[in-house]
């Protein structure tokens, strides 16, 4: 009898017995076939790089943070692999928004293309978003708040009032899916203050975290800094950033009123991806590992994540998302 019932359900109702794509997810209203995709800035500046990412086993393609005009960026060396991660002071080299809008208009992959915006002033951010609003082919925008905005003031993400002012201006006209990318925070009051501001806006997602700012790596043999720009000071990514990234994902997951979190920072293994999701991330970006390992990291990370999920008996991302237990 049991055999007959099983045969019946296999032939007539195959769907309920089929496993859904184990690592599919959604960021708000945006479905992604795979919870993994590239972090902005890692191998996503040129058309060739974006084409390669479009073919990679990822849920989305995210482009390099764009300014209005082409930027050459800082003098080299401006990026270095370092033992547990990376350091960079790239200076926002990008091809300018026109290039990314043309690329989006022609984009035909079976996954969304996200643009990242990094205006150097509030006015530049508004101009960029007005251009994107009219454009075709853009799945969502990640507004990079880790940029200088007003000379003599900290980067926008470290200035709560300036962030609120920027977002008020943006949401006065922008009505397409838009998220923000935050720098890392280290003080509980800063989490609370930033979350209170973000909760006032219809954000599609919040990405935590950008590089940990102003690290210094030394080349001992030459007795110099490893990077040329900014006296060698640069943003730190990779394993150094993981505990801070997880703390930011988890804190904002708890403080934001249902705004999805995209985790970023320190992902080197499928276990790292699992930890980001357990802390509350709906999707997970990969920066330094993509720089070091190339596109192959996505196949490996996807397989490692799924193997850990199988071991733990989880069938889909939602089974463990945000379910970090207390001790
Ligand atoms: C070479 C490089 C360039 C980056 N450029 C950007 C950028 O243009 N916009 C941005 O939001 N983040 C940028 N980042 C930060 C990454 O997107 C990411 O937030 C950070 O590296 C932490 O992730 P990871 O530990 O996986 O590297 C860059 C990182 C690297 C390594």
pLDDT of 6 over the 90 cut: no
Does 326 fall in a domain? no
pLDDT band at 20 (very low <50, low <70, confident <90, very high): low
Nearest CA to ligand 1 atom 6: 41
Nearest CA to ligand 1 atom 20: 211
Over residues 11-33, the mean pLDDT reads 71
Lowest mean per-residue pLDDT among 152-161, 188-197, 200-209: 152-161
d(CA 158, CA 271): 30
Does 13 fall in a domain? no
pLDDT of 12 over the 50 cut: no
pLDDT of 324 over the 60 cut: yes
Does 155 fall in a domain? yes
Count of alpha carbons within 13 Å of 298, Cβ hemisphere only? 26
d(CA 251, CA 248): 5
41 Cβ closer than 6 Å to some ligand 1 atom: yes
The helices-and-strands tally (H runs, E runs) of the chain is 11, 16
DSSP string, 18-50: SPPPTT-EEETTEEESSSEEEPTTSS-SSHHHH
Does 30 fall in a domain? yes
Asked if omega into 310 is within 30° of 0 (cis), the reply is no
pLDDT of 218 over the 80 cut: yes
Angle at 198 (CA atoms; ends 131, 88), nearest 5 degrees: 70
Does 28 fall in a domain? yes
| Ligand 1 pocket test target in 42, 119, 207 with most atoms within 8 Å of CB | 42
Tens digit of each residue's pLDDT (9 = 90 or more) over 287-304:
999 999 999 999 999 999
Compute, in angstroms, the gap from residue 65 CA to the centroid of ligand 1. 9
Tell me the two tokens of residue 183.
């720098």
pLDDT of 151 over the 60 cut: yes
pLDDT of residue 28: 84
203 Cβ closer than 6 Å to some ligand 1 atom: no
117 Cβ closer than 6 Å to some ligand 1 atom: no
pLDDT of residue 147: 79
Closest-lying ligand 1 atom to the alpha carbon of residue 86: 31
pLDDT of 124 over the 80 cut: yes
Compute, in angstroms, the gap from residue 39 CA to the centroid of ligand 1. 6
d(CA 49, CA 79): 17
Does 198 fall in a domain? yes
Mean pLDDT of the chain: 94
Over residues 44-48, the mean pLDDT reads 98
Q: How many domains, the chain?
A: 1
Does 218 fall in a domain? no
Higher-confidence residue of 16 and 275: namely 275
Q: Which strands sit side by side in the sheet containing 212-216, from one edge to the other?
A: 79-82, 85-88, 233-238, 212-216
Polymer length in residues for the chain:
327
Tens digit of each residue's pLDDT (9 = 90 or more) over 64-105:
999 999 999 999 999 999 999 999 999 999 999 999 999 999
Over residues 36-46, the mean pLDDT reads 98
pLDDT of 38 over the 80 cut: yes
Compute, in angstroms, the gap from residue 211 CA to the centroid of ligand 1. 6
Q: CB of 227 within 8 A of CB of 88? A: yes
What is the domain extent for residue 284? 19-73+91-212+238-319
Nearest CA to ligand 1 atom 19: 210
Tell me the two tokens of residue 56.
């990679």
CATH number of the domain at 29, please.
3.20.20.70
Over residues 253-275, the mean pLDDT reads 98
Does 157 fall in a domain? yes
Q: What residues have CB less than 8 Å from 124, skipping those under 6 apart?
A: 67, 68
| Ligand 1 pocket test target in 78, 87, 235 with most atoms within 8 Å of CB | 235
Q: What residues have CB less than 8 Å from 6, skipping those under 6 apart?
A: none
86 Cβ closer than 6 Å to some ligand 1 atom: yes
pLDDT of residue 132: 98
pLDDT of 19 over the 60 cut: no
């Amino acid at each position: 009898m049991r055999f007959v019932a099983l045969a019946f359900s296999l032939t007539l109702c195959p769907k309920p017995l089929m496993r859904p794509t184990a690592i599919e997810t959604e960021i708000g209203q945006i479905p992604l076939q795979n919870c993994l995709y590239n972090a902005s800035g890692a191998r996503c500046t040129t058309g060739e790089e974006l084409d390669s990412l479009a073919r990679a086993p990822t849920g989305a393609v995210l482009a390099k943070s764009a300014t209005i005009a082409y930027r050459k960026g800082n003098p080299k060396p401006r990026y270095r692999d370092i033992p547990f991660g990376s350091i960079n002071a790239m200076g926002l080299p990008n091809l300018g928004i026109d290039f990314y809008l043309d690329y989006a208009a022609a984009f035909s992959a079976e996954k969304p293309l996200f643009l990242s915006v990094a205006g150097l002033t509030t006015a530049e951010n508004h101009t960029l978003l007005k251009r994107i609003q009219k454009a075709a082919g853009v799945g969502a925008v990640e507004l990079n708040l880790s940029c200088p905005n007003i000379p003599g003031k900290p980067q926008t993400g470290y200035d709560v009032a300036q962030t609120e002012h920027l977002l008020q201006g943006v949401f006065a006209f922008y009505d397409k899916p838009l998220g923000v990318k935050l720098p890392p925070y280290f003080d509980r009051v800063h989490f609370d203050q930033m979350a209170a501001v973000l909760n006032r806006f219809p954000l599609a997602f919040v990405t935590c975290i950008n590089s940990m700012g102003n690290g210094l790596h030394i080349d001992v043999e030459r007795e110099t800094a490893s990077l040329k720009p900014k006296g060698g000071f640069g943003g730190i990514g990779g394993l150094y950033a993981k505990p801070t990234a997880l703390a930011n994902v988890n804190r904002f997951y708890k403080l934001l009123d249902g705004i999805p979190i995209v985790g970023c920072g320190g992902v080197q293994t499928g276990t790292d991806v699992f930890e980001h999701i357990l802390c509350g991330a709906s999707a997970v970006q990969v920066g330094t590992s993509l720089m070091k390992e190339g596109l192959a990291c996505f196949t490996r990370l996807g397989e490692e994540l799924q193997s850990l999920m199988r071991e733990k008996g989880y069938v889909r991302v939602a089974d463990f998302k945000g379910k970090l237990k207390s001790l």
